[in-house]
Amino acid sequence: MKTPIRHVAMIVLALLSIPACAATTEDKYATLAGVKIRYIDVGKGEPIVLLHGGGSNLDTWVTSGVVANLSKDFRVIAFDARGHGKSDAPHDPKAYGREQALDVVRLLDALKLKRAHIVGFSLGGSTTSQLLTLHPERVLTATLVGGPGRYPWTPKEEQRVEEEASEIAKECISRSRMFRQAPAGAKPSEDDIRKRSDECRANKDFDQRATAASLRGYKDQALTEDQLKSVKVPTLLVVGDLDHTLEANRNLKRLRPDATLVIVEGASHTGARGIQRNPQLVTAIREYVGRHGAAGAY
């Protein structure tokens, strides 16, 4: 029995609508310092490593279309940070902090890569910022997306993080964090909070105790002004003008005049206007990496 032409057309359109990376983002695993890490490795060319934000996983880079876009011209590697997604989830805060930056180096070693472009969002940006002070020789370029690094680190910051960690450990979500990160005029309603809480508890890949431990490890990512000023790796800062980290990004730009700052109008940290889904982000990454190519030295 022949398939009607209109049905064939519908099938072709359906196949074309599947994301380009859908068939290639196969989960892989590597054990790094005793912690099993889930990662994907797609495309060919200069390597770009994508680090996700706190409480999420590498899938945010896939669903936002960033992996599909960049993998057309680059080798794209993304992984679930320890304590997140399908990676192992220690409950000891000492297992986090700088260990998360060192995991980038460990994965590069496992993949036999000397250097890579590193792109980090939020927690991933802070991880990248610390990596620049620990192993700058492994970084071709750094792109910090709404995560300029943990500076300055004050007792007030430590108190805030402990409050958020305690809320997550008990309630799965942090109300105070949701309010802090939301743009002015778009604070979460009780319905929003309830929905986020239900989604959190239903997410089998979310370990609230591990996420709380990760937050408590933030103090081990704290940087000094001298450390930040000493970084020579080409660095791109991308932040939305509605992002709560905007001023911190401007402050880092003042400390490092050599860094390039891109402010995306109308973009927030997360939510409907979140920077990860904004097409200007991948455009900025492409342009910056293109200007600082590795010429095969990776």
Q: Give 20-152+223-291's CATH code, choosing from 3.40.50.2300, 3.30.43.10, 3.50.50.60, 3.40.50.1820.
A: 3.40.50.1820
Give CA–CA dist 1/155, Å, rounded.
73
- Whole-model pTM: value is 0.90
pLDDT tens-digit series, residues 194-231? 999 999 999 999 999 999 999 999 999 999 999 999 99
Mean residue pLDDT across the chain: 92
Tens-place pLDDT, residues 106-134 = 999 999 999 999 999 999 999 999 999 99
Domain ranges of the chain: 20-152+223-291
- Does the structure show a pLDDT above 90 at 265? yes
Is the pLDDT at 19 greater than 60, yes or no? no
Q: How far apart are CA 233 and CA 256, in angstroms?
A: 11
- pLDDT of res. 56: 95
87 pLDDT exceeds 60?
Answer: yes
Write down how long the chain is. 298
Residues 6+ apart with CB under 8 A from 246: 239, 240, 263
Mean pLDDT of 72-101: 98
